[in-house]
Every structure is written in C-alpha cells, then in structure tokens.
Chain A
Amino acid sequence: MTTETLPKQESAESALGGHVKGYIERVKGGELGALPAVFGLVILCVVFSVLRPAFLSAVNFANLFTQGAAVAVIAMGLIFVLLLGEIDLSAGFASGVCAAVLAVLLTLQGWPWYLAVLAAMVTGAVIGLVLGSLVAKLGIPSFVVTLAAFLAFQGVVLLLVKDGTNISIRDETILAIANKNVPPVVGWVALVAGVLAYAALQFVQARRRAARGLVATPVAVIAARVATLAVVAGVAVYVLNLERSRNAALVSLKGVPIVVPLIVILLIVWTFVLRRTAYGRHIYAVGGNAEAARRAGINVDRIRISAFVICSFMASLGGIIAASRANSVDPNTGGSNVLLFAVGAAVIGGTSLFGGKGRALDALLGGAVVAVIENGMGLMGYSAGVKFVVTGSVLLLAAGVDALSRKRAAATGRR
C-alpha cells in the first residue's frame, strides 16, 4: 500500500499503466463488468455465422435489433429494480397491459397516437407506483407482490383484448417505430455527431480534472474508448444502411430502424440519471446498504417506489415497441418468455441480482446476447423448446457468474 494522501498527477505513461493495471486488478478481484457479455456475444456471433452464413446478412442484422428492442427496453427498466436488490416479475405482463391499453385506445376507440401512447405510459407509471408502494410501504417482498401482479396482469390483458381476440394496429406512427427506418444520411450524421459529442465530453472532463490536480483519465484510454464506440457504431450504421430489400427496384429497404435511436436516447438518459445525478447515486446507495442510506437522510421508501415506477414505465415503452413490431396486440403480448429474457438480459449484461451493481448499458449488451441466441437458434431451425432450454441455461450461467464473482470479490476483500 502506498502512503499517499492526495493522489497526484502522475506522468502520462504511468497513469496509463496504472489505469490498465487497475482494470486488470478489478477483473481479477471479481468485478467482471461487461466482459462475460462481450465474450459471449463474440463467441455466439462467430459460431452462428460459421454454421449459418445467413446470420451475417444485412437483413438478419436489422432483424436482430427489432427482435431484441422490446426486451432490451424492459431490461433497462428492470435494472433499476435489480439495483435495489428487488425483482419485478410482472414487468413482462405490465408491458402487455400497456400494449393492450394502447391497442384498445388506438384501434377500438380511435384516439390519436400521441394520446394513446401517453395513456399507455401513464398506465405503466401507475402500475409501478402501486407495486412500489406495496413493496416499500407495506413491506411485502417484491417477489410476492410482482408474482401476484404477474398473474393478475395476464388476466387484465385477456380482459382488455376481449377473450383472446387479436387487435391489429393500423396507426402509421406506431407501426413506424419497429418497421420503418431512418434515412441513411441521417443515420451517418447522427453517428458522427454522437461520437464527436462523446469524445468532446470525455476530453473536457479529463481536462477539467487535470486542471484541478485530480487524477484524470489518460488521453490514450479516452482515445481507445472513442475509437471503440466509433468502430462498433460505425459498422452497425454501415451494415444497416445497406440495401436489405430483395427487390430494391420495387421497394427500397435501408437505414437504421427507428427503434435503434430510440433505445440509444433511453440509454443516454438513464446512464446520465444513474451516474451523474444525486438520485442515481442514492439508488446505488440503497442497493448497497439501505440502512446506511437511511442514516444519510435518503428517503429509502421513495427511492424504492420510484425504481418500480421507472421499471414499469420502461415496460410500457417495451410494450409499445412490441405492439409496433407485431402490428397487433394479443393476449400473449409481453407474456411467455418476455420477462425471462429481460431479466436474463440484465443479468447477462452484468447487473447483479444481489443489488448495488449494474448499468443501463448492461441491458443492451445482455439484450444483444439474448437476441442473438434466439435469432441464431431460429436460423438453425431449432424448435421453440430447444430455444427455451438454451436461453434458460444461459440465464442460469449468467446468474452463476454473478454469484461466483461476488464470492471472489468477498474473498479478495472487494465486496
């Protein structure tokens, strides 16, 4: 242990070395972060593209995004609840209820799309308010509250769509979310603007910290981060901008699906909330040590309730995306595997089921893994049964990695 009170500005090289060393130490100590998800994603993609070349096609690449979108959005909300060490088993059917509300208002009542969407989102927030209040104020374990809600919401969806009929959605705006694309030029411009903004933000922050004599992120690390973002996002935009239509003369199909920028915005917003605001800090604090948070004057109940509100609100957005993709809402919207996939996405992405650890980005990484598994296995022609078994196993594996890394962290004194 060095004996240094004020961490001084080191020379650039040793700062970089220290940064890399610190990262390796953290990984060894059990803070795996996004590593398992990234490795898993790479391996899965390689395996599937070797076995089924169609996996790599532009059409399928775009499919992956629209397939995984709803689950990733629901998972992003779930992360708030998981950060507190709670669980929301009803998030899947909550999204179904909101989708049903949307469909009924839109198609049967003839409301304009913005009012219907607003109603769906309010429905989600109210669901979260009720669930959160039951957990925080009455003290019923979240597992039981949301299991009950899981059953009840399944019934609510059935009631809303009148015993199993299928309500189709014909509103152009809603359908566009998962079925239409951003013009290629706009995609490129947004990409360049996004990468530049990210780079500028990182550099300004580092400069400011260095100016105040605090330890700043080394320039090389920032450059690596910016380059990674530019390459990954650049390749994605490039592939999505390729012509995907079988008959381009008849109908052109290219560009980033509209749902992608939507998810990116949600990611930025929730990352900002979690990392840069006092509210986000308090969520981590409550998940890490609720008693300490209470003594620090944080209103723990309010934090709990708000996390459930965010979760169900995000579920409502997931429901809207699912409805848009399916062009309709039926009693199974948000049902069957949606919740499991969402929880799986969060956990695979690196969010801990024990609370206190997780990022909004985890939902996307884990969501990508889940989407790739489902998509790839579908291409391989496996039945739904095999898909369920494999996805279940992957979820178990992710939870196992989480528990093991936690044990390792405890053993190395990092917990």
Chain B
Amino acid sequence: MSQGPILELRGINKSFGPVQVLHDVAFSVYPGEVTALVGDNGAGKSTLVKCIGGIHPIDSGEYFFDGERVHVSGPRDAAALGVEIVYQDLALCDNLDIVQNMFLGRERKSGLVLDEDTMEEMAAKTLAGLSVRTVKSLRQHVSSLSGGQRQTVAIAKAVLWNSKVVILDEPTAALGVAQTAQVLELVRRLADKGLAVVLISHNMNDVFAVSDRIAALYLGRMAAEVKASEVTHAQIVELITSGRSGELGLKNGNGAAS
C-alpha cells in the first residue's frame, strides 16, 4: 500500500481506576481498506474504539490523523476530523424518522427553522450512493424498520458527513444470514469508495469475507496487525485466544508486538 495510514495510534495507554485496559497499543487504519479489529471479550476493543471516538480520553500515547498529531478530547473533535462510530446498539431514536435520525444533532437550518427539504435530499443521495434499495420512505419512523435496515441507516448516518474513517462495532451481531450479507456488502462498498473502515467482529467468516487487514487485541495489547491474505483462520483464532501464533503475536504474553 503506497498510501500512509489515515489514522494512526501509537503507544496508547488507558486505565479505569486501578485497571489498565490498554497497554501501549499501536493501531493503524488505511483509506480504502477494511481493517478488522478482533479480540476476545474484555480484550479492549470497545475501549480502544471509544478512545478513537473521543468518548474516553487517553492517558498517554499519540493520535495521528492524516499524518498530523491531533488531540481528541470529545466526540465532537473526532467528528470534526471525520471519524464516525456506529455503535452496536445503533443509537437511533425510534420515535424519529430516517432523515431526522441521520441528521440528529447536526440539523441543517435556514435561519431558525429546520431545512427539512435539504436534509431529505441529502439523506436520499447518501442512501442512493450506498445503493441502499430496501427503504420504502425516508419519512418512515425508525421503529418500523428491520434490524438490517436500522444498521443501514446507522451506517448511512455515519458516512453522510464526508467522514474519512468509519468504525463499525459488531454491525452483524444481531442480524440474520441475508441481512448480514447485505451489511457486509455495504461495508465493502464503503471501503471501495475510499473510506477507511474499521470492523469490529467476533465472526471470523465476516472478518475474512471483507477485511484487508486484521488487528488482534489480546488482554489490552495489540497482538498483531497483519494482512488478511497472509494469515489463516486458525492463526487469527490463536492470536485472539492466546495472543500469539508461531512467529506472530506477543512474546511471553507481555512484550511488545512483533
């Protein structure tokens, strides 16, 4: 890959009280690629993502965006950089419609009044750009959508803002087979459009289906960052469960990544 990483973290440490959740974590995300972030429960995936998203401040470490060192001290900072996170629980308001949800907190206004027409047009354009064909009307309440459609809306909400990095926290966890395929297709399409996509998943099939790179966390340390084409299914499972696999992974379980 000739291009450098759009987002790069170096030596990230994060503690909650006496518990250190992230140890000296390095993590890079490249534009046009899907980077899978894998790890067992409690490995620190969610914490790492929340640090990237500015919800948790990092204790120490460096945060580079587009080659420049930045300080992210809140969700708004991350959003301003172009980092969007789609959370597992989606964070949609059931009592609002699709357009209202997509623009929540960042409504277009003309003067004091909401500019509903522009918002609806932009939402329609974004969904069309993602080749989403499953929503009947943009003015339908989110409560009437299926799980896959909700995920689609949540992802569309994230890419609406010309974002550069989209992080998806287990987007397929609660979906059926057909819907999972739909969402994965959407994930791949995001990367093909040039966005950097981070996919958090427990499902190895999903990971190998769409990702270009795989980053494995083990007990708060980055065990390995590898290309998906250079590793096997079994190696990744080993990295997740024991932090190492042959030449790959942590040495003695407490050293730096190889």
Contact = CB atoms under 8 A, between A and B. Distances in A.
A267 to B, nearest CB: 18
A330 B29 CA distance: 70
A312 to B, nearest CB: 24
Interface string B92-106: 111110001000111
B124 A298 contact: no
Contacts of A284: 93, 95-96, 100
Contacts of A1: 134, 136
B114 A276 contact: yes
Contacts of B188: none
Interface stretch (A161-169, A289-297, A388-396): A289-297
Contact of B114 (A6, A278, A287, A295): A278
B95 A208 contact: no
Interface string B107-133: 101001110010011001001100011
Interface residues of B, number: 38
A287 B77 CA distance: 26
A350 interface: no
Q: Which of A281, A292, A293, A297 has the most CB of B within 10 A?
A: A292
B104 A414 contact: no
A297 B94 contact: no
Contacts of B112: 276-277
Contact of A287 (B75, B95, B117): B95
Contacts, number: 98
A336 interface: no
B76 interface: yes
Interface string B137-159: 11101011000000000000000
B61 to A, nearest CB: 23
A15 to B, nearest CB: 12
Interface in A204-227: 208-209, 212, 214-215
Chain A interface size range: 35 or more
A92 interface: no
B75 A295 contact: yes
A281 B93 CA distance: 11
A53 interface: no
A288 interface: yes
A interface majority secondary structure: loop
B135 interface: yes
B177 interface: no
Given A291-B91, A414-B143, A214 B114 contact: no
Contact of A277 (B94, B105, B114, B141): B114
A356 B95 CA distance: 6
B67 to A, nearest CB: 26
Contacts of B132: 5
Nearest to B145: A413
B113 A277 contact: yes
A247 interface: no
A289 B133 contact: no
A289 B94 contact: yes
A215 B93 contact: no
Contacts of B121: 212, 214
Contacts of A287: 95
B65 interface: no
Given A4-B136, A5-B135, A209 B114 contact: no
Nearest to A409: B143
A276 B96 CA distance: 14
A407 interface: no
B79 interface: yes
Interface string A314-336: 00000000000000000000000
Contacts of B90: 292
Given A215-B139, A281-B107, A5 B133 contact: yes
A4 B133 contact: yes
Contacts of B106: 296-297
Contacts of A357: 95
A14 to B, nearest CB: 14
A285 B107 CA distance: 12
B189 to A, nearest CB: 14
Contacts of A288: 93-96
A3 interface: yes
B64 interface: no
16 contacts: A3-B133, A4-B133, A4-B136, A7-B137, A276-B113, A278-B109, A287-B95, A288-B95, A288-B96, A289-B91, A292-B91, A295-B91, A297-B75, A297-B105, A413-B144, A415-B143
Given A5-B124, A288-B94, A413-B144, 20 more contacts: A1-B134, A4-B136, A7-B124, A212-B121, A214-B120, A277-B113, A278-B109, A278-B114, A281-B96, A281-B114, A289-B92, A292-B91, A293-B93, A295-B75, A295-B87, A296-B91, A298-B105, A357-B95, A414-B143, A415-B94
The 6 closest A-B pairs by CB, nearest first: A296-B105, A288-B93, A288-B95, A356-B95, A292-B91, A296-B104
